[in-house]
């Protein structure tokens, strides 16, 4: 595999993380005020694009980098859950169509679907990210403990925010929404952070074959 191909995941990580930071322009306040705000669409379309790019980055990483079987499984789990995040974010984005219905007390099918999907998906997605970040840095294959805490903090915030805000209605817990964006910062840093144990997929097998030929 060409060296340039083995590094493409880094570009996807950086671009995806930068797009995901678009969530910082998310409007604030009650849902009835946020849904009609033009910033709702801008923020969520940008996040959606970032998630799509991150799926590509995770797939590229899994295909092009030699990692342990355990980490490979966690990367696969992260790919699946990030894909579910893409689906949720698409519904999330279109929840603005229920703005008038929410204001008038009518049924809000898209918004309700978004809230249900987010509550169901955010937590396992966060778990997949925590496993990816923790094992990746532990094996020296992805990121580093120097930046890992940023991603772990963001993932943890993302994983509990829907439960605290909408299920248990804990006052002040909405602050976790912007804090969870720190996961995007981890992706950006992980994309540029050197990892000494990384090698292109198939490199170990190729090296063993060369060694066998030399020993023959």
**Number of residues written out for the chain:** 216
Question: What is the model's pTM?
Answer: 0.89
Contact by Cβ (8 Å): 64, 6: yes
Give the chain's residues under pLDDT 50. 1-4, 203-216
Contacts of 121 (CB under 8 A, 6+ apart): 81, 84, 85, 88
Looking at residue 2, what is its pLDDT? 42
What is the separation of C-alpha 131 from the centre of its chain, rounded to a whole number of angstroms?
12
C-alpha–C-alpha distance, residues 25 and 216, integer Å: 63
Give the other-Cβ count within 10 Å of 56's Cβ. Answer: 19
Looking at residue 4, what is its pLDDT? 47
* Ranges of each domain in the chain: 3-215
The backbone region for 201, taken as left when phi is positive above 0, alpha when psi lies in -120 to 50, beta otherwise, is beta
Looking at residue 213, what is its pLDDT? 46
C-alpha–C-alpha distance, residues 185 and 37, integer Å: 26
């Amino acid at each position: 595999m060409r060296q340039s191909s083995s590094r493409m995941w880094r570009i996807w990580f950086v671009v995806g993380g930068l797009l995901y930071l678009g969530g910082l322009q998310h409007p604030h306040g009650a849902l009835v005020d946020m849904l009609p705000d033009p910033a709702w669409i801008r923020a969520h379309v940008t996040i959606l694009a970032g998630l799509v790019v991150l799926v590509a980055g995770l797939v590229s990483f899994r295909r092009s980098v030699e990692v342990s079987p355990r980490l490979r499984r966690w990367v696969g789990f992260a790919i699946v859950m990030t894909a579910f995040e893409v689906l949720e974010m698409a519904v999330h984005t279109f929840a603005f169509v229920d703005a008038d219905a929410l204001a008038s007390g009518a049924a809000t099918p898209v918004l309700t679907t978004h809230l249900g999907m987010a509550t169901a998906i955010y937590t396992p997605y966060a778990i997949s990210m925590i496993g990816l970040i923790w094992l990746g840095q532990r094996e020296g294959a992805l990121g580093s403990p120097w930046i890992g805490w940023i991603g772990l903090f963001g993932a943890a915030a993302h994983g509990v925010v829907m439960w605290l805000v909408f299920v248990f209605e804990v006052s002040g817990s909405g602050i976790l929404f912007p804090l969870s964006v720190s996961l995007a910062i981890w992706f950006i840093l992980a994309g540029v952070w050197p990892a000494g144990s990384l090698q292109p997929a198939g490199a170990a097998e190729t090296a063993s074959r060369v060694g066998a030929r030399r020993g023959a």
